[in-house]
Chains A and B, each alone.
Chain A
Amino acid sequence: MRQLKHKPGLWTLLGLLLVACLPGFWWQPHQATTVRQDYRSEMAPTFLVPGSSATQNRFNDLVKQLNQSSKNKHSLLRVEVMENGHLKYSGQLRRGDRRPYIVVGFQNHHDGYTNILKQAKWFTIAFKALQATYKFNHFSGMGHSNGGLVLTLFMEHDLAKTGAHADRLMTIGTPFNLEVSDPNEDTQLFKDLTADRDRLPRQLIVYSIAGSKTFTGDGIVPFDSVNRGKYIFQGRVKGFTQMTITGADANHADLPENQQIAELIQQDLLS
């Protein structure tokens, strides 16, 4: 013991070691929360949401096309949300598939402001149920037409409550100002979306694709309505890119099967 007293180097080392350990002991109770914040599950599904009047089978051909053009084939699960909030499943997720496609359709898939708000809430029900089953905590989403609105509304209102992180969002022919082509007229939906844009995840990367059948739109959705996306996303998310597709299959209904859009999905959403 007397010998130990005469070892200043040893005491300095032990003292410094103890001091260095103190922050660790102090921080440990918060460790799980901190790790969970940065943790990303192995599984990160890609949610596909069809537009009005389309069912959960809307993207069957698109998924087949994407699987054919890629080395990594992904499984497809289809979920239909009934009006009473119950879920109907078809298809299945392959074990070990980390990037499966999950299509969420709605029994009430009609158009209109009130219906779109309801569909966003039904999407949240499906999302929470799937999250509880498959334990993912990050995902990407693609919405065609009103499907893009459903995903945007979900991200603004309910995503934070789920604790999940949205990586990428691709909206295809999404009418952020509904069918209104007048740049001076704002619909209630657009006002809602811009009012809550600060709730969008800061790390989200967004791609908005417009189809060009005529010089004013894709045959159904006016350009101006798609362009309104910039007032919602620009400056609020990590990245926002707008693209216009012309040529064959550029009308509103054909956009999901458009070859160029399939390539963009492969390149920007799934990579």
Chain B
Amino acid sequence: MLEMQVGRCGQWLISLDVKLHHNRQFNAIYRALRLALPLVLIGSIADFIDQAWLQTSGYYYQTLNVSHWLFQLKLMRQYLRLISAGTLGFSAIVMAFAVSFYLVAPVTRATADRLLAGMTAVMGLKFLNVSRTSVLSLHTIHWVSTNLGTQGILIGVLVGLLVGNGYRWALQREQIVRESLTQTVTITSIWLVLLATGGLLWTSTQRASLGSAFLALVHWPFHLPHFVLGLFGYSSLSSLLQWAGVLGPLTTIKGESIQTAQNLAAIMDHPGRAIPHPLTIHTVVSVYANMGGSGMLLALLLAWFLCRPDRAQRRLGSLCLVPTLGNYGVPLMVGLPVMLSPILVIPFILAPLASIGLSWLCIRFQWVPAVAYPLATGTPGPLIGYLGTGGSWAALWLALIDLALCTLIYWPFVKWTQLAQRQLMEEAVDHAATKA
């Protein structure tokens, strides 16, 4: 029956998704992502309001003249930034803790062991995020907090897996039946010593933090790609990194901001003339392939509601609605999850490529003008091209066609994801019934 509904390819992907959910490692990661969702959601909404409504570069700030009718802007910004930093800013820590905790949970009933496994992972993550100079100069140790946010989720997951599996192995080897303080102390001490050694080795030999090293990966092959294959490569690699857990905005390519400034200068100083850099990551990828966040997540959300989501799936989509409309895709990445999903990885990479290809063609043949105006943070995806070109209706149509095309690409994969989730839910209900 299922084969008739979804075809062989879909069936294979669904079974792969279900298998991964049964896999101990992936299961721990998916459960950890679900645990982190409320924090990520609150943090993203706070960040969205701060950036789009209360900052001068925000879309609503500019279009609704927020400074004229909203008081205590500074106080509100301070408050929202605090919320955002306290939630999104520690998502890597939450992931390290939860992954390690969920890996150890099935092998021990002792709460102390489970919690200690999680806490050891957190400490391991901190050992990798320490100020190099403070360690090497023997001054008071300073911890670095910049890599503990959404961009550090992959590192958090890896540390959680390492510590959780090690802890699990040690617990199984000792075959502890009851809570034993001596065993717990021994295992924790060994792990802390090992992790601190790893942290010191990294700090003393590498100048960049582990997170920065991962981020540098996305840049090295592409130096200002203006040709379509270069844009494809940049987009694929950044999508792949986002899917693996390096979430959040990636840093800009060297020289890109200069080109953007030159484009703006061209239309300001010589209105009507062609801009010098019409095909860049900024004018193509950021404008037409990032609606709702990296990977055209607005198209994913549209497809999510277009298929037949059950009540729980609909509620999840609704929760992510506001941030996705402001191009904050992290809640969808964590909540659905898109991150590490074997089904959604395909459209997550392909949809932006389709959008880039079509947009590149339209700009290259001058059917649509290139973006030169500054882009306000939080501008709804389809409107970015329209406002970026100073009100070109052709740019708006192109954005809408891109969105429709990407929704079509996402649609079958979203349907398969929903089917896989339902299958997993049914299994869980059956399992609970059997236990009862």
Contacts and interface: CB of A to CB of B under 8 A. Distances in A.
20 contacts: A7-B305, A7-B306, A9-B318, A12-B321, A13-B305, A13-B321, A20-B383, A23-B59, A24-B380, A24-B386, A24-B387, A25-B383, A28-B387, A28-B391, A29-B391, A31-B387, A35-B268, A35-B374, A41-B265, A42-B262
A28 B318 contact: no
Interface string A15-50: 011001101111111011011100101100000000
Given A39-B264, A41-B268, A13 B301 contact: yes
Nearest to B379: A24
A180 to B, nearest CB: 44
Contact of A35 (B298, B304, B373): B373
Given A24-B59, A24-B63, A32 B301 contact: no
B62 A34 contact: yes
Given A10-B306, A28-B386, 4 more contacts: A13-B305, A17-B325, A24-B383, A31-B387
A86 interface: no
5 closest A-B pairs by beta carbon, nearest first, are A23-B63, A10-B305, A9-B305, A27-B63, A135-B269
Given A10-B306, A20-B380, A31-B391, A42 B321 contact: no
B59 A9 contact: no
A253 to B, nearest CB: 39
B166 interface: no
Interface string B41-84: 00000000000000000011011100000000000000000000
Contact of A21 (B309, B318, B383): B383
B390 A17 contact: no
Contacts of B379: 24
Contacts, number: 76
A32 B390 contact: yes
Contact of B64 (A23, A28, A41, A42): A23
Interface in B369-395: 373-374, 379-380, 382-383, 386-387, 390-391
A9 B309 contact: yes
B261 interface: yes
B317 interface: yes
A33 B390 CA distance: 11
A8 B314 CA distance: 9
Contacts of A31: 373, 387, 390-391
Interface string B381-420: 0110011001100000000000000000000000000000
A148 B334 CA distance: 60
Contacts of A41: 265, 268-269
Interface residues of A, number: 27
B119 interface: no
Main SS class of interface, A: helix
Interface string B245-264: 00000000000000001101
B353 interface: no
Nearest to A9: B305
A17 B387 contact: no
B275 interface: no
Contacts of B391: 28-29, 31
B383 A13 contact: no
Given A24-B59, A24-B383, A42-B262, A16 B325 contact: yes
A27 B62 CA distance: 8
B380 A9 contact: no
Contacts of B60: 23
A138 B229 CA distance: 39
B302 interface: yes
A146 B233 CA distance: 60
Contacts of A9: 304-305, 309, 314, 317-318
Interface centre among A17, A23, A29, A42 (most CB of B within 10 A): A17
A135 B262 CA distance: 13
A7 B298 CA distance: 16
Contacts of B314: 8-9
A20 to B, nearest CB: 4
Interface string B281-322: 000000000000000001001101110010000100110011
A8 B64 CA distance: 28
Contacts of B270: 135
A34 B309 CA distance: 43
Nearest to B262: A42
Contacts of A28: 386-387, 390-391
Interface in A129-169: 135, 137
Contacts of B326: 20
Contacts of B374: 35
A76 B56 CA distance: 36
Contacts of B390: 28, 31-32
Given A31-B373, A35-B374, A42-B262, A21 B382 contact: yes
Contacts of B380: 17, 20-21, 24
A28 B325 CA distance: 19
Given A20-B325, A23-B63, A13 B386 contact: no
Contact of A36 (B59, B268, B298, B305): B268
Interface string B312-343: 00100110011001100000000000000000
A13 to B, nearest CB: 6
Nearest to B306: A10
A169 to B, nearest CB: 24
A38 to B, nearest CB: 8
Contacts of B306: 7, 10
Contacts of A34: 62
B296 to A, nearest CB: 14
B400 to A, nearest CB: 11
Given A12-B321, A41-B269, A26 B63 contact: yes
A135 B306 CA distance: 51
A27 B58 CA distance: 13
Contacts of B268: 35-36, 39, 41, 137
B321 A16 contact: yes
Nearest to B258: A42
A34 B270 CA distance: 17
Contacts of A24: 59, 63, 379-380, 383, 386-387
